Homo-oligomer: A and B are copies of this chain.
Amino acid sequence: MISVTLVGSGNVAHHLANALSNAPNVVLDRWVVRTPSSVLIDINTKFSEKFDEPSSSQIIILAISDDAIADYSASLNQSDALLVHTSGSVNLHHMDKKHRRGVFYPLQTFSKNKPLEFSSIPICIEALQKEDLNLLTALADALGCKSRVISSEQRLALHLAAVFVNNFSNQMYRIAHEITDGARLDFDLLKPLILETAMKVQDLSPYQAQTGPALRKDQKTIKRHLKQLEKENHRLIYELITKSIQQTHGK
């Protein structure tokens, strides 16, 4: 049995609380939330507004904003617990060194209202001691997740890569939405294509999966597309990514 105290009330905290409280071999001892009214799920655990009593949990998970992690870890009394944060971009050493420290970073995009198969999420773990790595591996296992040992430096690269596949792909969808709106077309028409584009790279590499006018160097279509785009910023994005595709494919 692994006992956990969870701190935070954001999207990651909500999904973690839900997964922890449903996992076999895990006890969620306590959920520390500054504003209990911000909790949107119904789970059976002890709530507290402040971390004001000694924790007997084996692991304390700080699912709080990046900027708050260093100060929060400094404000906590030293204990036997392994203190981990869930951030993609905060170095393990930013936590106060009086603690046993680690990282438990679920690589996924979370929305409070959107249910998610937690077991499909890869967990990037990091710790200073072998036994702590084992404990975090066991926690990931209990949640049904695959885990990998990833250094703080690698985690930074992964976080940057995640911005490209998540935030930037999503902005491509957004620009497409503006285009369909402008032509009085239903954005729904693009949804199967969006899904298949993501499905394709589950099996093929993005290099192998590429198609389209940039790859074919189809100047006629590229020119027409640039003419169709009304916004200067969209034209610049079109030109730059077209160039990037052509550089990737050595044309």
Interface residues of A (CB under 8 A from B): 66, 89, 107-109, 111, 114, 116, 120-122, 124, 148, 150, 153-154, 156-158, 160-177, 179-180, 182-207, 209-215, 221, 224-225, 228-229, 233-234, 236-238, 240-241, 243-245, 247-248
Contact = CB atoms under 8 A, between A and B. Distances in A.
A120 B244 CA distance: 31
A244 B193 contact: no
A237 B245 CA distance: 12
Nearest to A201: B173
Contacts of A120: 192
Q: Is the interface of A mostly helix, strand, loop or mixed?
A: helix
* Closest A-B pairs by Cβ, 6 of them: A157-B183, A198-B198, A167-B212, A161-B176, A174-B206, A173-B206
The residue among A162, A180, A206, A229 with the most chain B CB atoms within 10 A of its own CB is A206
Contacts of A221: 66, 89
Contact of A212 (B163, B203, B215): B163
A162 B174 contact: no
Contacts of A207: 174, 177
Contact of A244 (B175, B198, B244): B175
A201 to B, nearest CB: 5
A185 B159 CA distance: 12
Contacts of A176: 161-162, 164-165, 206
B154 A210 contact: no
A171 B109 contact: no
B121 A192 contact: yes
8 contacts: A109-B197, A109-B200, A160-B225, A164-B176, A167-B213, A168-B172, A169-B172, A169-B194
